[in-house]
Amino acid sequence: MSARLIDGKAAAARVLTEVATQVERLKAQGIEPALAVVLVGDDPASHVYVRNKVRSAGETGIRSLERRLPAETSAEALLAVIAELNADPLVNGILVQLPLPGHIDETRVLQAIDPHKDVDGFHSENVGGLSQGRPVLTPCTPAGCMRLLRDTLGDLSGKHAVVIGRSNIVGKPMAALLLAANCTVSVLHSRSRDAQALSRQADIVVAAIGRPRMIGADWIKPGAVVIDVGINRIEEDGRNRLVGDVDFDAVLPVASAITPVPGGVGPMTIALLMHNTVTAARQQHGQESV
Ligand SMILES: Nc1nc2c(c(=O)[nH]1)N[C@@H](CN(C=O)c1ccc(C(=O)N[C@@H](CCC(=O)O)C(=O)O)cc1)CN2
């Protein structure tokens, strides 16, 4: 048996089409959703992601503003930019591209964003709301993984889901979303005992550890659905390659469905950012989220 490929590009295109329809409706009411993207420094991957975010905004009719700042920008200067965007009534969503240069405290910066404009869902107000099941802005990568899982499995109720990795951006919000979908959730990390055996009991495995191809076939129960969040750049056979946290070739014959890297979770992250921007715009105008 060979697993079905979960096509993140196609799923992202569907989300973006939904978003474009919502944007058209808002514009007909005189509301133009706008997203501010803040990029500090020269990280080449961050530049690509920001370019793709601005492009997706344009394609869905969302107005975008870019604030590009040099790597040596002080925390105070960055906070001043965020304060200006918070105060601008025509800006609905703000995101600060991560990682920030080492001299800037990321938490301090993320906490400075108005929670209603926090389209990354990283502010503690939104993190807390997510764990309480309130309708808050939700981190884009985990929200994208949930869409892929629902498209693949339908109702997730009662499934045993294992999340490997406990980062604030992916692992922890992913666990909260799976719990909200009535899964039985285990979060595995570097100190977990018998991680492989626990993972092998799961119906759903979400790998978000940042270690190239760490999850092999012996971590996966036959027929499980595998979501690979890893994006690792490695050099192999003299070529630069992008690989996930899952050993794709080894797991393919064991799983029932699997996301590839590239073309799996990554495109969903950007699509869900556009979705969150429209949600933020609707909420700021007293409308329910869709
Ligand atoms: N403020 C944020 N910073 C970061 C986030 C985030 O959600 N908010 N996530 C990641 C980077 N990221 C978005 O910002 C992101 C990563 C990967 C992709 C993507 O489409 N990947 C492609 C491959 C692209 C490539 O060649 O590198 C894929 O997997 O198919 C989109 C967005 C960290 N920072």
Phi, psi of 253 (to 5 degrees): -75, -10
Predicted pLDDT of residue 289 = 74
pLDDT-derived band at 288, boundaries 50, 70, 90: confident
Phi, psi of 77 (to 5 degrees): -65, -40
Residue 67 belongs to domain with CATH number: 3.40.50.10860
> Would you say residue 162 lies in a domain?
yes
* Candidate from 269, 270, 274 with most ligand 1 atoms within 8 A of CB, to mutate: 269
pLDDT-derived band at 1, boundaries 50, 70, 90: confident
Quote the mean pLDDT of the chain. 97
| Statement to judge: residues 201 and 255 lie in one domain | yes
Residue 190 belongs to domain with CATH number: 3.40.50.720
Ligand 1: centre distance to CA 267 (Å): 8
Radius of gyration from C-alpha coordinates of the chain: 19
The whole-model pTM stands at 0.97
| Statement to judge: residues 242 and 154 lie in one domain | yes
Amino acid code (one letter) for 235: E
Given the residues 22, 53, 114, 245, the one annotated as active site: 53
Query: What is the DSSP-derived secondary structure letter of residue 235?
Result: E
Query: Using one digit for the tens of pLDDT, what is the confidence trace for 24-36?
Result: 999 999 999 999 9
Structure ipTM over 0.85, yes or no: yes
Predicted pLDDT of residue 183 = 98
Predicted pLDDT of residue 60 = 98
266 lines ligand 1 (CB under 6 A): yes
